[in-house]
Amino acid sequence: MKKLTNLALGTVAVASLFSATASADHKYSWGNVSLNYLDWDAKTENTHGKDDFPYIELEAGAGFTWGDLYGFIDFESPDRLFADKDSDKDPSDAHRIAAKIVGTRKLGETGFSAYGQVYHLSSHKFSVTNVVGGAAYDYRNGGLWIRPWLGKHYQIQSNGFEGAKSYSGDNGFMGGVTWTYNFKLFGEKFMAAQWHEYEFKRDGQHYQNEDGSVNEFGDGRSEGHNGAVSIWWHMTDALTTGFQYRYADYKLGSNAYIDAFIYSIKYNF
């Protein structure tokens, strides 16, 4: 539970920033639980030592007259929950918990909103919390929804691996875009989607050693990309299946482009 302290603090910050008034109207809510398997590309496995893994995800969202909230929590490699707790294995080889909370607060009827995001990842010897605060814009047209956003990035990190260093503090900026497109094909309901994040002007301590060389435990340079493109088939109201193309460039602790496919089945409630 101690590893979730930073997430809890960030959650309180976001909740206080985007809390609704007592009179705010609830517009919609949704949730699901899913079983997923992430399959890294062979080059990513061989060059960067990433291991494929299953994970369980709980995901939910809600909309209000004042804005919206979204969140998920992933239990990655649950089969390794009690394995290698004291080893020096890479975090990608161990059980991990990942979670994200996103909130917006509308700025009148302009389409713009205040934006906040908290992401937390913890493993047996590593944890990182990324907090972003900024602004977003929502565009809707039929089945298409697009939200670009931009904010200041603050990071809290703890790294217990030999030779690694931790970095906490101002870590530049983060921007991104999320979009979804709902459509029908052969009478069936589908959704295409993407989320993409771009970090820039990172603090040099995050990715460099004191002599200016690249820190092997960092992301390799002052900017990086992270995201996924997906297609979903809503088989019934209760069941959804699909796959994602997951990618990162100078992100996820790798100083190169890495990618994977994720295969999922969701139960909607």
- The pLDDT tens digits of the residues spanning 180-200 come to 999 999 999 999 999 999 999
Band (63; pLDDT cuts 50, 70, 90) = very high
> Residue 209 has what pLDDT?
67
16 or 77, which is more confident?
Answer: 77
Domain 2-20+30-268 has CATH 2.40.230.20: yes
Residue 14 confidence (pLDDT)? 46
Would you give the DSSP letter of residue 186?
T
212 neighbors 181 (Cβ within 8 angstroms) = no
Is the confidence at residue 258, as pLDDT, over 90? yes
The CB density around residue 4, as the number of other CB atoms within 10 Å, is 16
Asked whether the predicted pLDDT for residue 21 surpasses 50, the reply is: no
pLDDT digits (tens, 9 = 90+) for 194-237: 999 999 998 877 776 666 666 666 677 889 999 999 999 999 99
Tell whether the model's pLDDT for residue 64 goes beyond 60.
yes
Alpha-carbon gap, residue 87 to 83, rounded angstroms: 9
The percentage of the chain sitting over the pLDDT mark of 90, rounded to a whole number, equals 62
5 token code pair:
């302290």
* One-letter identity of residue 44: T
Please give the pLDDT value at position 20.
42
Average pLDDT over residues 12-18: 47
Task: Look up residue 48 and give its amino acid.
Answer: H
**Beta-strand relationship, 112-122 and 126-137:** antiparallel
Q: In this structure, which amino acid lies at residue 36?
A: N
State the Rg of the chain over Cα.
19
For residue 256, give Cα distances in angstroms to 48, 56, 129, 195.
9, 27, 22, 19
Between 94 and 25, name the one with better pLDDT. 25
pLDDT of residue 220: 73
Contact 56, 34 (CB under 8 A): yes
